[in-house]
Structure 1
């Protein structure tokens, strides 16, 4: 009964997200580019968390379907590839910030999406204990670099035994988190409930993010590779 109720609530929420994901006439992002390099505007490919940062190791291109580049659209895409919003909508800890070199300075993450283990309603509650992949996201939408691209920080967490403990990043967790997210995304995937189909391609980029551990949270080395995803969303019954 509780699971059925949770699924019903989730379905209503999904329909709202679908409506919010639809493009509007006021969108003025520059979709002629994939993104603007953040360093050009004084930004960083590391977000900020406790004096250090996590690598922004995945970018969703501004050439993607415009609906995907909204928070609601990103949630629908995430749910099609095995991720969903946080357990019961709850988040523990302060939001991380990032400067995407777009004139907005440091801004809070728009949200966190976690592995849902095949259940978009409550599956992320399992990730909260078991650990696994998750990502945070920011939009490059400031007046000086308004691409509309999404910058993601993906990583993979350790398992905890109970909620009094804290997760940490597994060894090589930034590279693993990125690669698992990209592997889940590439190809064509249908949303588990709504009549939506997402098709994704991936390109590897170098030169945006310095490899190594300098400034990286948990002192975990990463290879400096950024994955550029281009995502197409279509209605498909």
Structure 2
């Protein structure tokens, strides 16, 4: 794994004259455009956007259908019977779009892309929200994911202890390497990004601390 400090990414953008309206970069730091690496969880705090699908991934992966198929390749699918409980959460990715509601929410499917998320709704598991960085001032096309491991229905799907780090790492472990679904094969690589958000629990939903690391995934269709 390669750890890339945020200042290094910003230096590369400046040194090579990269503009913020072209999809020629992995992502743009939300804070550079007045955004945040925490979403708005509707209670005064936010969930960390702790995984980014790079804008340098295969373009088809970055579409709604594309991220759904990739998610199914790594063990996630749409919500049980298409029913969503709870209000959507918004994020400001610093791209000029302001605060925008999640594009979708996907849940661990326990090996069954059709009905497995019904089991996740009952017993808990991993899940993530998707946000797309495509505004007029920072159009990377990257997908920012808020990933967390949650408790079962009887515990109101609260986040487990260390659930943001745990959920992030479980998703990455499932994704890295070679995966496939629906006749599409993927190769995924990972990098650790530091400097996008502070470690700790300040401003984080449920007061659950994170290690401050964001995982950058580059997904290539073979």
TM score, norm. by length of structure 1: 0.83
Aligned counterparts of 1:233 and 1:84: Cα–Cα separation in 2: 19
Partner of 2:114: 121
Larger RCO: Structure 1 or Structure 2 (Cα < 8 Å, ≥ 6 residues apart)? 2
Please list the CA deviations of residues 65-109 of structure 1 after superposition, one character each: whole Å capped at 9, or x if unmatched: 001101110000000010001111110111000000000000000
The 5-angstrom pairing of residues 197-216 of structure 1 reads 197-216=185-204
Secondary structure, aligned partner of 1:56: coil
2:88 aligns with one of 66, 81, 95:
95
Alignment counterpart, residue 137 of structure 1, candidates 130, 138, 152: 130
Aligned match of 1:222: 210
Q: Distance in 2 between matches of 1:167 and 1:159?
A: 5
Structure 2 CA distance, aligned partners of 1:31 and 1:97? 23
Stretches of structure 1 that go unaligned for 5 or more consecutive residues are 1-28
Distance in 2 (alpha carbons) for counterparts of 1:47 and 1:198 = 28
CA distance in 2, matches of 1:210, 1:182: 20
For 1:90 and 1:114, the matched residues in 2 are separated by 12
Task: Tell whether the 8 Å contact from 1:30 to 1:148 is kept in structure 2 after alignment.
Answer: no
Report the TM-score, using the length of structure 2 for normalisation: 0.89
Please, which of 178, 187, 193 is the counterpart of residue 188 of structure 1? 178
Alpha-carbon distance, 1:233 to partner: 1.6
- Please, which runs of 5 or more residues in structure 2 have no aligned partner? 1-20
Tell me what 1:15 maps to.
none
RMSD, matched Cα: 1.0
* Residues 116-175 of structure 1: per-residue CA shift (max 9 Å, x gap): 0000000000000110100001000000000100000000001234xxx51100000000
Tell me how many residue pairs correspond in the alignment.
Answer: 201
